[in-house]
Structure 1
């Protein structure tokens, strides 16, 4: 059985990816923490280039995930740079940036890129979740300042099972899981 290497250093993200993909796919799933280049550009470009770089290093099938948080009143910022915003100003800083705006709508986007090796085409999958930016709540995995439309809990307040049924990552990875099942025949 071929190995599929998930590239991440975030063990909570790895757990969520494995939980969503499941074990009924035609690959043995492993993971590797590789420090990939931080590309600049649109969401698809960034995840595709990271996937190509990872495939060269691993020399086999890889999955790279990238998350974006696009806030409407900020014209889509921080977008794919949300990790850097959170590391510098935190969830409370994101909330403070928009607290005086009437429209606090946002879209959480999960993008995964897959390729079977360094000479193979990259497949990109996306999942989106609409919501709004609120004062941060919760200590779990996910954006504590993002309240999905139609829900009373932020992603960080939801338990794994609840979040994995509605999240942007679930939508994206479920599509990827179906792709893998078709690939396996």
Structure 2
């Protein structure tokens, strides 16, 4: 396979992806681009449209990533609309769930590869729960409020290596790399 690029407008995501890719046989190329994201409750639609938009700008084989936070108490909301949801509510997300009710949530991340002819989507899912309060300063946005199943700390309390080992993005990336032989 030819050189592949990862496109994101987030420097933190670029750094995380480089870290997750570090054992690959070829270096990961990065493109810091702000590509439009469609607002949709369908995560597949969001990531596919994002990949197509990025390809139209870059015209190189690339992949993008987009995720969603699906909170059981909120009937799966905000899902892929987590960015505008986070921008409005921030740390108050924790208090949306009344005491005694299920705090179950899951993070779903999708990686979409596009080379102008092929469009493939890969999925990673991590179950967990919403913490009662924000904990930790690592990670981005809502990550200090999400505790992956089997852990006691939020993603925001974990160092990068640990956070990436239990990340839905890393799972989707592994599926992508396995499929393309990298």
Q: TM-score, normalised by structure 1?
A: 0.89
Q: Render the CA deviation track for 1:3-58: whole Å, top value 9, x for unaligned.
A: 42322121111111111122524565122222324332401111011111111111
* Aligned match of 2:123: 126
* Aligned match of 1:177: 177
Structure 1 regions of 5+ residues with no counterpart? none
The answer to whether the 8 Å contact 2:126/2:148 transfers is yes
SS of the equivalent of 1:144 reads helix
Q: Larger relative CO (CA 8 A, sep 6+): 1 or 2?
A: 1
Report the Cα distance in structure 1 between the residues aligned to 2:3 and 2:58, rounded to whole angstroms. 10
The answer to whether the 8 Å contact 1:39/1:50 transfers is no
Query: Using a 3 Å threshold, how does the CA distance of structure 1 residues 3 and 36 change in structure 2: closer, same or farther?
Result: farther
Number of residue pairs matched by the alignment? 179
Report the Cα distance in structure 2 between the residues aligned to 1:4 and 1:169, rounded to whole angstroms. 17
Query: Using a 3 Å threshold, how does the CA distance of structure 1 residues 21 and 155 change in structure 2: closer, same or farther?
Result: same
Q: TM-score, normalised by structure 2?
A: 0.90
Q: Render the CA deviation track for 1:83-116: whole Å, top value 9, x for unaligned.
A: 11111110x2111111346111000111110011
Report whether the alignment pairs 1:138 with 2:136.
yes
* Aligned match of 2:98: 99
The answer to whether the 8 Å contact 1:26/1:180 transfers is no
SS of the equivalent of 2:155 reads coil
SS of the equivalent of 1:38 reads coil
When the two chains are superposed, the root-mean-square deviation of aligned CA atoms in Å is 1.8
* Aligned match of 1:48: 48
The answer to whether the 8 Å contact 1:125/1:176 transfers is yes
Structure 2 regions of 5+ residues with no counterpart? none
